[in-house]
Amino acid sequence: MLTDACDNALDLSNVAADASYKASYHGQFRDDQRTGQGTWKVAVADYEVEYTGEWERGVVHGHGELTCYKGRALFYQRHGTWKNGKTHGVGEATNFHTGGVY
């Protein structure tokens, strides 16, 4: 299953990109909120997390890909859909640490 650090990284996506979180966002904005296509990157504990995909009103919403690295090793990856910042609908997740595919 996804580690807390990887899971919690998307919860930080509503915080402004900030050097204290080693976070950044590159993408589209509308009305000063992330909306459209964009990439969010954040470092949390020993993990680096990246989400690339659709955003709506500042939260992950639509189709995208979440990738989590532990150190330099690929740890977890999910392709699929999100709704209001949470996984939703069809998607596939792979935990490279355990070999599990969900």
DSSP letters, 27-79, are: EEEETTEEEEEEEEEEEETTEEEEEEEEEETTEEEEEEEEEEEETTEEEEEEE
Q: Please name the residues in contact with 58: beta carbons below 8 A apart, sequence gap of 6 or more.
A: 14, 33, 34, 35
Q: Which domain holds residue 28?
A: 4-101
What pLDDT shows up at residue 62? 95
pLDDT given at position 50: 92
| Structure confidence at residue 24 as a pLDDT band (50, 70, 90) | confident
Question: What is the count of structural domains for the chain?
Answer: 1
* pLDDT tens, residue by residue, 41-73: 988 778 888 999 999 998 999 999 999 998 889
